[in-house]
Amino acid sequence: MREFTAVSLFCGAGGLDMGFDRAGFRTIWANDFDKDACKTHQNWSRAKVVCGDIGKVDISQIPDSDIILGGFPCQGFSLSGPRKIDDSRNVLYKHYVRIVKEKKPLIFVGENVKGLLTMGEGKIIEAIIAEFSECGYDVFYQLINAKDFGVPQDRERIIICGFRKDLNIKRFEIPVPNNMRTTMREALAGMPEPDACDVCSAPYSSRYMSRNRKRNWDDVSYTIPAMAKQVTLYPGSPDMVKLGTDLWEFGKGGETRRFSWREAAAIQTFPKDLEFYGDLTSKYKQIGNAVPVKLAEYVATHLYAILNIKEVSEQWQMESKQQMEKLSNTLALKPSTNHLKVAKM
C-alpha cells in the first residue's frame, strides 16, 4: 500500500484534491487562475500551488505523477447559463489534453456539468473523449448525482476517467452505493447562526423568484451554485408560496435568508472550520465551483484500489520472475551426475 501522487489542474479551492488526499493520494502540484482559490488551497494542502494561466505554465515545471486531476471550467457547458460551442472557456480542456499527453500519468480524472452531454447534440463530449483517447488512454464517462454518495445536495455531474492503455482497463464504472444519503439536518448539525456579513444579502431577482428555492431539513439541498445571488435558501426559512406559473413569493412567520458561505461549504462537504479567502462573492464562487469533497473521496477510493491491485500484481509477477531466475541459476550451478559411470563388478 503506497501513497500515489497527483497533479491538479484548474484546482480551485481543492475539493477534488482534498477528497483524493483523504483516499491515499498526495497532491504534489496544483494550478488555478483564481488568486483567492489558490490561497485557500495553500492553506490546507501540502501541494505546491502555482497561480496563473495554465496556458502560460512551462510544462517542464509540472512534475510527473501517478494521476492528473482536473475539473476543467464548465461555465460554457452549464445548463444554468448560455451554452455556446465557441465559448472560450470550453476549450480550456485542450490544455488538460496537452498536459496528459506529455506527462502520461497512469490515470486522469475530469469532472464537468451534465450539460456537457447534450452540448452540440453530443458532439462536444465525443470530441473530448476522442482527444483523450488519442493520447493513449481508455476513456470512460458517467453521469452521477452527488446525493447518492453521501453529499447532502442534488448535484448531477459527469466524471471522466482515463486509464493508460498499458493498465488494460477495458471496463470501468463507479458503483453507486446503497443507503448513503445525508440530509441537511445531519450536514449542518451544530453550526451556529451565521454573522450577517457571511450571508449574501443581494436583492432577489425575478429569475430567483421564478421557482421554489427552499428544501426542508430532512431533504438534500438544491445544487450549490457559484453565483452568490443564486444560492438557495436556508432550510430554517419559511416555505415559499407558489402564486402562479414561474412566480413564487417568500413565506411568512420567520426569517428568509440564503445559506451562509460556511453552510454552503458544509453542504459541499468541506470541513466546517476550513477558511476560504477573498470577499464574500469570491468565497461563494470557490465553494460553488468545487467538487464535493465526499464525492471526490469516493471516486478516489475506487481508483486507488485499482492502482493498488495493479501494482501488487506487477510486484508479484516481478518477484515470481526473480524467484524463477534464482532457482534456474541455482540448478545450473549444481554439479551434474550425468557423467558418472557405474563401477564394473
Catalytically active residues, by annotation: 74
The grid cell for 281 is: 462573492
Using alpha carbons, list the distances in angstroms from residue 315 to 84, 169, 318: 48, 18, 5
What CA–CA distance (Å, rounded) separates 157 from 115? Answer: 9
For 154, other C-beta atoms within 10 Å of its C-beta total 15
The grid cell for 222 is: 438544491
Q: Are 303 and 28 in contact (CB under 8 A)?
A: no
Q: What is the 3-state secondary structure (H, E, C) of 67-94?
A: EEEECCCCHHHCCCCCCCCCCHHHHCHH
For 314, other C-beta atoms within 10 Å of its C-beta total 10
What CA–CA distance (Å, rounded) separates 218 from 184? Answer: 6
Residues 6+ away with beta carbon under 8 Å from 233 = 213, 214, 240, 256, 257, 258, 259
Closest CA to 187 of 288, 280, 264: 264
Composition of the chain by helix, strand, coil, percent to 5: 40, 15, 40
Closest CA to 65 of 29, 22, 13, 19: 29
